[in-house]
Chains A and B, each alone.
Chain A
Amino acid sequence: MRRLALVVVLALAACAGVLGLTRSEPRPFPHRAHVFAGVTCTRCHVGIDRDDGTSLHVPDDRSCIECHSKPHDSHPCLGCHAAPNALPELADARAHLVFDHKTHTAPTRGDCVRCHVGVAESDQHLRPPMATCFRCHDHDASRDARTCNACHRDLEDSATLPETHLAHDGDWLREHGTRAASSGDLCQSCHRDRFCAECHGKTVPILPATARFDDVFAPTIHRAGFESRHALEARAEPGACTTCHSPDRCASCHTSLGVAGDTRRSPHPPGWVGPTPADNAHGREARRDPTACASCHDGAGQSLCVGCHKVGGVGGNPHPVGWSSRVPLSSMPCRLCHPIGSRP
């Protein structure tokens, strides 16, 4: 046991860098050291108090060289002395937030840390969380009206993901339908109609998993070798396919591949249709997954069933015990087996 613990500790130590437990280059910018040295924010972030929302106000090398007269190499300072995601996050915020520092300088009396909490410890996330804004700004009206564009620009294309609300974690692919049921309008504050249509549309030419084949970590439906697995998955959860696909979707593909439709061989095993229940597997299979039958036999193929199962036919009553319907007998599909004048 002690040996195992030692192995685990050694493995963790060896992998600490990879797991992100220890910091590797480039390092976060040492804001804390600069604050202790008496360097004010605006000394490096020149002009940020007059910011009109167009510039990043990230210090350049000249600002550093004012104090650090002997740079150890000729590379840009922030190439190594800034968290890897700090600058891209700032650029994303500038592009997608309606914000300027100028109007915030007076209310905060120039106290940057009032919003940039924790900047002394790290510059991992220089952008304050949304909750910080709500300390001063009333958000209720915008939230109720679902008008995010008071603060956000082009949210769908923003790299921003909600962290404190609507976090898309867990198995979001499975969960999103249930969450969206009660807050669908909230989804539309970030996602446009085409986002839903990419999977739920009847006119989709290819699914996102195929179109963005190079994004192997994207959590999209029908990933990887789904074509191989689809029959097993369809059998394991009958009806799951039909929640998105119409049954004729299966038929068109199976017909083109020659596993259904006008083929010379039947895909069904021996004993599929016979005179006794023991030889009559098709009834049980149909009840196991009626959508599987519908995938080939819906439409004109229904006549195969009607021949035996119509009222008075040798196939008998296909309805389960207690089955009921509000569809009139004169409508489809009832009229196929219940001709006018026959018993219900």
Chain B
Amino acid sequence: MKWLAAMLVVGGVAHADPLALRADAFASTAAPAGLLTLSADGDAGPGLSAEAVVWTGQTTATAADRADGDVLVIALHARTRDGRINGTLGRFVATLGALRPVQVDGGRARVRLPYAIDVDAYAGIPVLPDLTTSRSWDWVTGGRVARRIGDWGSIGAGYMQQRTDGELATEEVGFDAGAALGNHDDLAGKLAYDLANPGLAEATITASDRRGALRGELYATYIAASHILPATSLFTVLGDVPALRAGTTWTWRAAPRLDVAADLAVRRSDGDAIDEPATAPATTVGEVGEVIAPAIVLRATLRLDDRGASALGGELRRDGAGDSGWTGARATARFALPWALSASSELELVVPDHDRGLGRVWPWVLAALSRTWGPWHAAVALEAQASPEDRSRLDALAQLGRTWGKP
């Protein structure tokens, strides 16, 4: 795979026109210690294009999943002139409607049929890190049929099946819908149902209204953890309390340079255990209760110039309840300086409700200086924190990037 990646990248450099190439070097005293990423895009005519992102570097991951290099994306895209048929071959992230995204080595195709019907399908081998070849009898395939409704909406239904070592790991059907209702309102929803261990795996619905500087959204999400796990995992047989979150998000351009946002939600999830009678037989597995917890985010961003090159931001958060509750504050700042320099800083304070001896406040701060000149971009930063893992820690980060062939 490494050789294929290198050949495609180099081949793209030689033949594709126009071609864009980007190289980014990243170094940090925290993991990963050093990283070089190469990205390339090439168009070989109106219906054929290719893209690739490969990386190599030294990470501090454990021996089990250590990777010295890998391919993030390497894909060849082809489409007919009218756009009715298109396909991709290579490594990519397959996303189909409500079905969960899967990174695969394989192919996908999309056909736009008469009567506003679209058919999508993909098949391939699920990607594992580190260019591993020990993937016999691992495969995933999925498809989706969708119907566009005028120019204001669509509905779709999809199916996917994934096998690991030939055994059923995931089998799911998904349904999705989206609509623009009038000039101000949008509605979208998706639902995934686990067929391997029958039950609702994930569902989301969102409705928004936008009028001038004000936008409001109502949403609800449902996630059943045991249905998200692969069916080959023993922990799918336990059942669980699904996490349910419902809330509303409001964004308001209060002034030409001032944006204010609020996300007010409640979350129902796992709670304290229900007391079981002492006479209960020792062979029963404990039942769990449910709690309603707030999830609140208040945010404001003030641009200090019309282009937003300099800006200030603030954020307050309150999340969870019981042993998972916490309160946080975050402040961000960016200042444009002479000579194309930019200074930015970010500060976060997290106060857990129950510190468990891991510190009452977990501060995190970053100060960065960056410069963009022509095709070059460089940045350095210092990051300091006190976390449950480290009483105090200081890291340095650096990044250098260059682009070739961009307009």
Contact = CB atoms under 8 A, between A and B. Distances in A.
A192 B50 CA distance: 10
B276 A333 contact: no
A201 B240 contact: no
A231 interface: yes
A117 to B, nearest CB: 18
A193 B389 CA distance: 35
B256 A20 contact: yes
B229 interface: yes
Nearest to A302: B234
A319 B306 CA distance: 59
Interface of A: 18-21, 83-85, 88, 95-96, 124, 140, 143-147, 149, 153-154, 157, 167, 169-171, 174-175, 177-185, 192-194, 196-198, 200-206, 210-217, 223-225, 227-229, 231-233, 235-240, 242-243, 246-248, 252-253, 255-257, 275-278, 280-281, 283-284, 286-291, 293-294, 297-298, 302, 305-306, 314-320, 323-327, 331-334, 336
B282 A316 contact: yes
Interface string B92-130: 110111101101000000101000001010000011110
Nearest to A334: B237
A193 B75 contact: yes
Given A236-B319, A316-B285, A229 B326 contact: yes
A306 B223 CA distance: 26
A302 B234 CA distance: 7
A145 B85 CA distance: 9
Contacts of B226: 239, 290-291
B293 A203 contact: no
B240 A333 contact: no
Contacts of B188: 178-179, 181-182
Interface of B is mostly: strand
B351 to A, nearest CB: 11
Contacts of B273: 281, 284, 288
B55 A205 contact: yes
Interface in B228-246: 228-243, 245
A228 B240 contact: no
B215 interface: yes
Contacts of B348: 224-225
B237 A323 contact: yes
A305 B285 CA distance: 12
B282 A336 contact: no
Contacts of A184: 95-97
A294 B407 CA distance: 48
Contacts of B224: 239
B73 interface: yes
Question: Which of A146, A238, A278 has the most chain B CB atoms inside 10 A of its CB?
Answer: A238
A327 B240 contact: no
Contact of A145 (B82, B88, B281): B82
Contact of A203 (B72, B223, B368): B72
Nearest to B175: A181
B72 A318 contact: no
Contact of A228 (B236, B256, B263, B350): B350
User: Among the interface residues A146, A169, A200, A229, which one has the most CB atoms of the partner chain B within 10 A?
Assistant: A229
